[in-house]
Chains A and B, each alone.
Chain A
Amino acid sequence: MKPPNTLLDLQFRLRLGLLVVLGVAGPVVFALMAFVTIGEVRTGANVNKQNHIAFNLARDFLNPSQSLMQTEVFFHRIRMARNPADIEQARQMLLAFRAGLETNHRYYQQAIPPGHLRDLAVDEAYASAEEWYNIAEREYLPEVERGGWQSAERIRTEKMDALVQRNLHTCQQVGELAEAWVASNQQQGATSGRSRIWQLVGVGLVILFFQILLGGMINSLVGRSTGRLQGTLDVLRRKNAEVETFVYIVSHDLRAPLVNLQGFVRELEESCGQLRMLAAERTQVLATSPAVRCQEMAKILDGDVATALRFISASATKFDRLINALLNLSRQGRQTYKWTLVDVNELVAQTIASMQQQFTESGASIRVDSLPQGFMDENSLSQVFSNLISNAIKYRSPDRPLHIEIGGAVEGESVHFWVRDNGLGLPESSKDRVFHAFQRFHPQRADGDGMGLALVQRIAERHGGRVWVESLEEIGSTFHFSVPASPVTTPC
């Protein structure tokens, strides 16, 4: 019987491989998603920042009334000026406006990424504004301070207004571009940032759940096959122990006749020595007549020599029997079984019929109940009943007539038979040894090689079943034999 090669099973390998691949794929996917999400979150933050800039741009540049107002306020101050102190105030205001412009300029210089928008907002718009402030400071104001109102007015209309117009135009453009930028950002950032993180957490939990599930499946898959392997290992270990016990028992049962053989051969040598001495013509020790010497020799031959030969011969016969019994037992293990649906009632009836003589001699009675059918090997089952019945007859009690009962029942997936007798019974301590080879408990009652029950056990094992005995000394014994109703897939 080859134990099922579970771990190397192709099916098992495929399933395990699939589970492992899924198990690895999960975290990899999650890692990739996390990577992407982090990227997006950063982009999102970036987008937010740029949104902010865009908003500022829109605010600053789409509001021409503010800058226009500034210029008007300036010119109004100049017109209303009555003394140099007022003009000085107007100059200070101009400088303040300019400082504000400078701050904005610097901000947008580093905030806006390079591109068309930047060129417009940072460079062009500020260029025109800067130029306006330059003219205002260096040309217009000095003229006003000198009192040249007409030339100051001329500077204003010829140079400064045009600049304002140009600046307005640029600002308009910037504002429009900024608006467009805001719009596109809004589209982009719709699902970026925080919502993305929640998505990731959700996916992460799902993947974690599946990992646990997969881990459980792998565990149970490996566990089951390990369990089966462990089961096979246990069976092998048990069988190995049985073989070891068997070898031990056999080797010692074989040693007993061997001791006799060796011992009595030596005795024979001794006797031969004595005979040789008696037969030697020149004997100094025994000054006796030939007739007496012959008598002595005859005594030795009929006595010690005859005994020795008897024991030697008996030992050889015993050896022969033991080896035959062993071969028989081994043959049981190697026979091919023919699994058929056996009519056990018919089989038992035939067995009893073939033992008719033993029944008559022993005066035994037997009763057979209705027995269930089973899928078994007919020949070996017949041997089981034959051995059990024969044992019952052999080891019957001298105090009462032997009565045998044979019964059977279906129990779940097994069929169970028993042979009950009212014979000698077995002592409690011997019950587990009784199925071992060569075990005999009442050798004085009958002949036997002690193999009958070992054979029955072997047959039960090959069917995937078991045997056991219930017994009380001086009351009787019941031998049980239980096998699966249908043959096991890996008979051994």
Chain B
Amino acid sequence: MKIAEDAFTILIVDDDEGHIELARRNLRRIAMSNPIVALQDGQRALDYVFRRGEFAQRENSPPLVLLDINMPGSINGIEVLRQIKSNPATRAVPVIMLTTTDDPREIKLCYELGCSVYITKPVDSLLFIEAIQRLGLFLQVIRLAAPEVFVQEARQ
């Protein structure tokens, strides 16, 4: 289901290869053939979203982020979410929390920080599909509305 010509990239951030593979297969199953980028730590994920470091030259379009919380290193999923949502240039990027933790406090915190939806693993396929589709549409809409603004802000 390619919604528009220049389809958005789906960024999967998870330290477990198996989980990444399962997410890929789920996306394939709902016929989403968008490009998928999988990263296994928070620092690289931020570099991707903010277009810096190794990803400074990537194509300038906001991704849809599937974010796990428990990752090794100093930057875990919550921190990634916080940084994305506190920066005006990237605040609009839709982030789906996809994680094993089901602690209500963590869920509340993520929603407060601005995640679009919080999904616990093992994944309920219907919820997953719905979330992707809805947010995918959302992404298309904001891009069509003000692409220039987004590009300029991201560069700051």
- Check B22 against A260 for contact (C-beta < 8 Å): yes
Query: Quick one: which of B110-146 are within 8 Å of A by CB?
Result: 121-123
- Check B73 against A252 for contact (C-beta < 8 Å): no
A446 to chain B minimum Cβ distance, whole angstroms, is 12
With known contacts A252-B101, A255-B100, A264-B22, A427–B74 Cβ distance under 8 A: yes
Query: Quick one: which of B25-76 are within 8 Å of A by CB?
Result: 25, 70, 72-74
A182 to chain B minimum Cβ distance, whole angstroms, is 95
Among A59-67, A436-444, A477-485, the stretch in contact with B: A436-444
Partner pick for B25 among A259, A267, A315, A427, CB 8 A cutoff: A267
- Check A255 against B121 for contact (C-beta < 8 Å): yes
A268 to chain B minimum Cβ distance, whole angstroms, is 11
- Check A256 against B16 for contact (C-beta < 8 Å): yes
B102 to chain A minimum Cβ distance, whole angstroms, is 9
Q: SS class of chain B's interface: helix, strand, loop or mixed?
A: loop
- Check B74 against A259 for contact (C-beta < 8 Å): no
- Check A441 against B72 for contact (C-beta < 8 Å): yes
A473 to chain B minimum Cβ distance, whole angstroms, is 8
CA distance A262 to B121 in the complex (A): 10
With known contacts A255-B100, A256-B100, A263–B18 Cβ distance under 8 A: yes
Q: Does A430 sit within 8 A of B, measured CB to CB?
A: yes
Query: Quick one: which of A242-281 are within 8 Å of B by CB?
Result: 248, 252, 255-260, 262-264, 267
With known contacts A430-B74, A441-B73, A307–B21 Cβ distance under 8 A: yes
- Check B73 against A442 for contact (C-beta < 8 Å): yes
B24 to chain A minimum Cβ distance, whole angstroms, is 10
Chain B neighbourhood of A427, CB < 8 A? 73-74
- Check A311 against B21 for contact (C-beta < 8 Å): yes
- Check B72 against A262 for contact (C-beta < 8 Å): no
CA distance A307 to B18 in the complex (A): 9
Measured CB to CB, the nearest residue on chain A to B14 is A256
CA distance A367 to B137 in the complex (A): 62
B9 to chain A minimum Cβ distance, whole angstroms, is 23
With known contacts A259-B19, A262-B122, A252–B70 Cβ distance under 8 A: yes
Chain B neighbourhood of A430, CB < 8 A? 74
With known contacts A427-B74, A429-B74, A264–B18 Cβ distance under 8 A: yes
CA distance A258 to B122 in the complex (A): 8
Measured CB to CB, the nearest residue on chain A to B103 is A248
Measured CB to CB, the nearest residue on chain B to A473 is B74
CA distance A256 to B121 in the complex (A): 8
Partner pick for A263 among B22, B72, B74, B101, CB 8 A cutoff: B22
A426 to chain B minimum Cβ distance, whole angstroms, is 8
Partner pick for B122 among A248, A263, A429, CB 8 A cutoff: A263
Measured CB to CB, the nearest residue on chain B to A440 is B72
Measured CB to CB, the nearest residue on chain A to B121 is A259
CA distance A60 to B76 in the complex (A): 115
Chain A neighbourhood of B100, CB < 8 A? 252, 255-256, 259
Binding site for B on A (CB under 8 A): 248, 252, 255-260, 262-264, 267, 304, 307, 311, 314-315, 427, 429-430, 440-443
| 14 A-B contacts (beta carbon < 8 Å) | A252-B70, A252-B101, A255-B121, A256-B16, A259-B121, A259-B122, A260-B19, A260-B22, A263-B123, A267-B22, A267-B25, A311-B17, A440-B72, A442-B73
